[in-house]
Chains A and B, each alone.
Chain A
């Protein structure tokens, strides 16, 4: 094997990767932000709803969780516009898809967190005369957050990595940038080594930041 690593071509096109990483982060942040809203609203609704609503929410969660993300991306980007008369960019399409996708996972995270809030705390909230809404805001959600933060961090990291799927519909995020460099330089080993390192470092940085948030949340007063 006479392959010698040569990173020069990678550095020459590094803007594709740095710009790609920024877009990956942007996609993740926007999708997760929307996903958090979907997840919180549906989780709170779920734990207090009757069977019909629970069934609908569970169906949404099960559907999303049992269909590969890449298929959902195709469905929303290629499928939907052929059936209904709407047009959107690949990027918007992906954000919408990942938001729905993360929403489904976050419903589960938040729901199990809400259900794990000790009965006694809710009783204590009732006993001092808090209304159901006040109990939700001041007792159940803060406790849920402490319970779910570790699981939430893992979900966020995982969703960040899922942004790489956007490359299949040519959204120029990090993985797409890697493919572009690969096609134009044939430096497949070098480019994927660099990109792997970039995902790894970003993932670790996110995890570290989220652990700080967890620690802050545990000791905040």
Chain B
């Protein structure tokens, strides 16, 4: 079994995954291992395949070749190497093991903050309504929104909606949390409150893979940074190492230069 940089067995094992949208190759033999408790951030220019890679991990996107395993179990295809897509029922069960937070929040608009969190708990985890409610309240408290339990998404700010989105994902107690540019759609003054929640989850030992444009956050909060370019992993390692690699990595240098320029 593949191991991650610090020699613990990988919880998430992405091995040589490739994917094309028509003639465009968006992922070129990407490999990445993430150990339990690690926080891995993926940075890179738009179109480098970051989001697609993340969406492959819970099979919101299929991939053409390679394999993605969580806890040793192949995600989208049946075990045995025949590349036979799992049944919808199996896929649903597999997806329940990963949590995902989206750039556009994607809360269910007809359900309250608590209702958004309770849906998966009740329908997927089989919790009773009271149990689901108390779990929802617990997590809403964790993200600082205990008082918004009965608000509809339309009544919440973007930052609040995204915190509900995070609560909805973590309440399912996933093995791994996928965060897809979760602050990109937020007004700048709301970014901090969302990142604070992510940081506190990291401190709790939640395994996370996060696609982000927040380089400073990636540097401070992650165990490793993955720099993706043109559908491949261009650099990977501890934050300081990767960010220092700009002296030797042309594409990383261009990316970071553009990023710094955009900060003014």
Contacts and interface: CB of A to CB of B under 8 A. Distances in A.
Interface of A: 118, 120-121, 123-132, 134, 138-139, 142-143, 145-146, 219-221
Nearest to B113: A221
21 contacts: A120-B105, A121-B108, A126-B58, A126-B95, A127-B58, A127-B95, A127-B98, A127-B99, A128-B95, A128-B96, A130-B120, A131-B89, A132-B92, A134-B92, A138-B119, A142-B108, A145-B110, A146-B110, A221-B115, A221-B150, A221-B152
B257 interface: no
Nearest to A119: B106
Going nearest first, the 4 A-B pairs with the smallest beta carbon separation are A129-B96, A128-B120, A120-B106, A124-B106
Nearest to B150: A221
B169 A128 contact: yes
B96 A123 contact: no
Contacts of B259: none
Contacts of B92: 126, 129-132, 134
B43 interface: no
Interface string B122-154: 011000000000000000000000000010100
Nearest to A123: B60
A138 B120 CA distance: 10
Contacts of B97: 129
Given A127-B60, A129-B93, A143 B102 contact: no
A146 to B, nearest CB: 6
A118 B98 CA distance: 21
A220 to B, nearest CB: 8
Most buried by A among B94, B119, B152: B119
Contacts of B94: 129
A9 B119 CA distance: 61
Interface of B: 58, 60, 88-89, 91-100, 102, 104-112, 115, 119-120, 123-124, 150, 152, 168-169, 172
Contacts of B102: 120, 123-124, 127
Most buried by B among A120, A127, A131, A132: A127
Given A132-B88, A134-B123, A221-B152, A127 B110 contact: no
Nearest to A133: B88
Given A127-B98, A132-B88, A143 B108 contact: yes
Given A120-B106, A123-B106, A143-B108, A128 B119 contact: yes
A219 B108 CA distance: 13
B91 to A, nearest CB: 8
A221 B95 contact: no
Nearest to A125: B108
Given A143-B108, A146-B109, A221-B112, A127 B100 contact: yes
Nearest to A146: B110
A146 B95 CA distance: 27
A129 B95 contact: yes
Contacts of A129: 92-97, 120, 124, 172
A123 B106 CA distance: 8
Contacts of A121: 106, 108-109
Contacts of B110: 142-143, 145-146, 220
A120 B104 contact: yes
Nearest to A220: B110
A35 B60 CA distance: 35
Contacts of A126: 58, 60, 91-92, 95
Contacts of B58: 126-127
B152 A219 contact: yes
Most buried by B among A124, A131, A132, A139: A124
Most buried by A among B89, B92, B100: B92
B169 A127 contact: yes
A221 B109 CA distance: 10
A156 B172 CA distance: 41
B103 to A, nearest CB: 9
B108 A139 contact: yes
A221 to B, nearest CB: 5
Contacts of A139: 108
A131 B96 CA distance: 10
Contacts of A128: 95-96, 99, 119-120, 124, 168-169, 172
